[in-house]
Structure 1
Amino acid sequence: MRDGCTESEPGGEPDGVPRVTLPGVVDRHVHLGLVDRALLADGPVTEVHDLGWDPRDVAAWAADPPSGVRVRYAGPFHTAPGGYPTGRSWAPDAAVRHVATPREAAEAVADVVAAGGYAVKVALHAGMPLLPDDVLRALVGEAHAAGLPVLVHAEGDGQARRAIDGGADVLVHVPWTEALSSELIARAARMTWVSTFAIHDGPGRPPGLELALGNARRFVAAGGRLVYGTDMGNGPTPVGVNEREIELLGRVLTGEALRRAVLGPADAAPALTAPLPVPETASDLIAWLRTSRRLPTSPR
């Protein structure tokens, strides 16, 4: 066994083919209100993290999820009055929580806790009104006091720096609007970044994608944790495994690091099984997931 893998001997399966068992796929950035959630049932994706929706709706989906899928949720975007994603046609009013003062920050975090959220989502989007530093610090401080991580959508010049300096735990997109300095990357290495590379994909060499990949490579080299997330629901993204996201993640990670980025923890259930060998590259992992099937419980 390695990296959470369980290998079976020939004859351990009805067809006599030796197999490997691995945890299911965890998508750490989705918006379930923008997709047909039923399509996730009993597939390779076994856990999703909803990062911005009406907390009443998403709590109901978590209580009655697609078959075989665990739903974790952050609740609404926390943003300045008029800040992102205020006014976006895809965002219900209750998916956006305007926070104007430190006192309102404390109330907002208490509401996330009461709604069963696992994290506090914050939006820092240049070009729209931005949370002032004291309110950002209050959101981070209140979330941490409640035992919740802070997940930040940081877009535009200087916003990744604000998130990093402000004590955020996760960037929900690898920064794609600017190349971060080596000094900032080093300070960010305590964090987790969510990939979402494929939303920047397109013909040629899209500058946003190239910036994101460059930032991600330096972040990983500095010791940061990079994980798979698709922003499912942002445009025509597939509901389930996003193979293009894995391909792009494979430009940064391989082997055990890639498996750990895409798949759940070693003790996760349900697990997936498919013929050996253990996937090492992005193309290997995509092929392995295509042939995988669910086990009802983890054999560990």
Structure 2
Amino acid sequence: MQPTRQAIRADRAFDGVRPLPGGLTVFVEDGRITGTEPGRAPAPEGWQVRDFPGATLLPGLVDMHGHLGADSHDGALERMATDEAARLEVVIDDSLGRQLAAGVTTVRDLGDRDWTVVRRRDRARSTGTAGPPSPTIVAAGPPITTPDGHCAFMSGAARGERELRAAVRERAERGVDVVKVMGSGGVHTPGTDVARCQFTLDELRVVVDAAHAAGLPVTVHAHALAAVEQALDAGADGIEHCTCLTAEGVVITDGLVERLVRQGVRVCPTLGTTPQAVPPPNVRAVMERFGFGLGQRQQHAARMHRAGVRLVSGADSGINSGKPHGVLPAAVAQLAEGGVPADAALATATSLAADACGLADRKGRVRRGFDADLLLVGGDPFTDLAALSRPVAVLAAGLWTSTDPRSAPE
């Protein structure tokens, strides 16, 4: 039986905003953080104490770009297009388990086929903490795309004002948390062009205006520079990938960066790959066509950070073997390798990500009143972000999910 009242101590901590090198004691009761004290504070009588010497305590991570219906192997999206409903449920279970094992306690799903993930989210909300520990799901449902456009198999195709308004209305009625729009073609959909827009500006404005009227944010998949500019013109809240591809290669001007800052758009550069990852042939073809690779993307993300762009971390998790569910720690580490300071990189997957999900009052911070979603890692991520990939223990809504046997709750 899991304890309902417990004190958790670690030698170092990151509260979602700043490092706390002197360590922290976190008090958890009934799935919520009831208080924090610096250092190794005593626990009230009757509370269970868990010590993690040598570890760093952080908020549970937030993956801002995942595909829970994708199975983390090459060809995942192709299988997702044809999988039967029962297999999709099995894949979603596996994806959530992989995420949780890596310390990810919230996943924003940005590509769902036939509303499967939305229904899973709804079931989780109805059971609350009565069910087994699992990441909180933030769901977009099927992305809005053009007929024969990127990921049209997910059942989100629409064209023209009437269809687009109907698409947004359906998402609002089904209770999505965010509207996802495929602004450009995609690497994994043959016949689409990553360097071209899929919608007209007027069409994209219809989606954004209708979503905002319904109280929903909009994030736009945009590999093409023209699609990034179009998303800004339409007033979108977020941009996924933001690769800025043109016929001449990658083009990111100072003016574009300044505009991203001025409009306060959240940019998710979708870094994050396993160390031995070999890009699939379709990804290699795009990289060769436009002359860019991981190093350049890291430099561009760091440039945006220095300018004040609001970066968040999501790994496009699940789409192939190099981007499995649970790879988010690598996305954070790759930001830092590109020049983003460690504490700022960590914030992109904790407090800043929670803010962008509309969960600023519940997630992403180690703070009184917040959900007890906590990650303990071996080592010091402020000097070595590889430590983020060494989880020692994970707490989701106050429930232990993955713990070093030496520290396991009794």
Normalised by the size of structure 1, how large is the TM-score? 0.83
Q: Which residue of 1 aligns with 2:392?
A: 291
Q: State, as a whole percentage, how many aligned pairs show the same letter.
A: 28
1:160-179 matched pairs, under 5 angstroms:
160-175=228-243, 177=245, 178-179=250-251
Q: Which residue of 2 aligns with 1:123?
A: 182
Match of 1:260 among 318, 337, 347: 347
1:270 aligns with 2:357: no
Q: Is the 8 A contact 1:249 1:282 kept in 2?
A: no
Q: 1:118 to 1:296 in 2, by over 3 A?
A: closer
2:307 and 2:332 mapped to 1: Cα distance?
A: 21
Give the letter for the 1:106 counterpart: R
Q: Which residue of 2 aligns with 1:82?
A: 148
Secondary structure of the corresponding residue to residue 292 of structure 1: strand
Q: What are the superposed Cα offsets for residues 14-62 of structure 1, whole Å, 9 maximum, x if unpaired?
A: 5573765421011011111113333434531100011011353112211
Give the letter for the 1:260 counterpart: A
The root-mean-square deviation of aligned C-alpha atoms, in Å, is: 3.1
Q: Which residue of 1 aligns with 2:163?
A: 104
Secondary structure of the corresponding residue to residue 230 of structure 1: coil
**What displacement does 1:293 show?**
3.3
1:214 aligns with 2:299: yes
Match of 2:69 among 26, 33, 38: 33
Give the letter for the 1:247 counterpart: A
1:56 and 1:14 mapped to 2: Cα distance?
A: 40
Give the letter for the 1:270 counterpart: A
Structure 1 alignment gaps of length 5 or more: 87-92
Q: Which of 1 and 2 has greater Rg?
A: 2
Q: Is the 8 A contact 1:7 1:18 kept in 2?
A: no
Secondary structure of the corresponding residue to residue 204 of structure 2: helix
Q: Across the two proteins, how many residue pairs are aligned to each other?
A: 290
1:7 and 1:60 mapped to 2: Cα distance?
A: 37
Q: 1:256 to 1:188 in 2, by over 3 A?
A: same
Give the letter for the 1:240 counterpart: G
Q: Which residue of 2 aligns with 1:90?
A: none
Q: Is the 8 A contact 1:151 1:170 kept in 2?
A: yes
**What displacement does 1:271 show?**
2.5
1:1-300 matched pairs, under 5 angstroms:
3-4=15-16, 7-8=24-25, 9-10=39-40, 13-15=49-51, 17=53, 20-35=56-71, 36-39=91-94, 40-41=96-97, 42-43=100-101, 44-65=103-124, 67-86=133-152, 93=153, 95-126=154-185, 127-128=192-193, 130-175=198-243, 177=245, 178-189=250-261, 190-198=264-272, 202=278, 207-236=292-321, 237-250=323-336, 251-264=338-351, 265-266=364-365, 267=367, 268-274=370-376, 279-281=381-383, 283=385, 285-286=387-388, 289-294=390-395, 296-297=397-398
Q: Is the 8 A contact 1:7 1:19 kept in 2?
A: no
2:233 and 2:178 mapped to 1: Cα distance?
A: 18
Q: Is the 8 A contact 2:273 2:330 kept in 1?
A: no
Q: More strand by proportion, 1 or 2?
A: 2
Normalised by the size of structure 2, how large is the TM-score? 0.62
